[in-house]
Copies of this chain bind each other. A is one copy, B any other.
């Protein structure tokens, strides 16, 4: 049986410890838990905040599609994806992926796959706000993110 992914697109922060607990509590046959947390970087101390715009509805649907593919491809027991939107300060959480499996490689691959597809296929856009009061450019998509995604095909 393939796992049913849990997807949350939300403005508020998440608590990794709580999410890990919810998934592993009272479970005695998991074996491997991989978590990925994406945090806002301060870009050498210059960044005031990232602003994450998203396409509500499509964001949930895309994350669910990506996560469902991962569940079909690897024998995962749980797959949780949380993606935030809104203004996010340096050091704060942006995205969380938790994958569990009996097999460590499945857990690593499942989480890594979700992150690679999420970067290129989930409708979120980042704009940089700097401490000097200027609003920077929208962050540009990177070719290497496309390459990271394409290695799975």
Residues of B within 8 A of A33 (CB): 35-37, 39
A91 on interface, CB distance cutoff 8 Å: yes
A111 on interface, CB distance cutoff 8 Å: yes
Q: Is the CB of B31 within 8 A of A34?
A: no
A2 on interface, CB distance cutoff 8 Å: no
Residues of B within 8 A of A27 (CB): 91
Q: Is the CB of A35 within 8 A of B34?
A: yes
* Alpha-carbon distance between A90 and B102 when the two chains are bound, in angstroms: 13
Least CB distance from A125 to B in Å reads 18
**Of B20, B107, B111, the contact of A17 (CB 8 Å cutoff):** B20
Residues of B within 8 A of A40 (CB): 28
Q: A34-B36, A104-B36, A108-B36 in contact; A29/B16 too (CB < 8 A)?
A: no
Q: Is the CB of B108 within 8 A of A108?
A: yes
Q: Is the CB of B28 within 8 A of A32?
A: no
Least CB distance from A139 to B in Å reads 13
Least CB distance from A31 to B in Å reads 5
Q: A91-B26, A108-B112 in contact; A34/B32 too (CB < 8 A)?
A: no
Residues of B within 8 A of A65 (CB): none
Q: A17-B17, A17-B20 in contact; A39/B32 too (CB < 8 A)?
A: yes
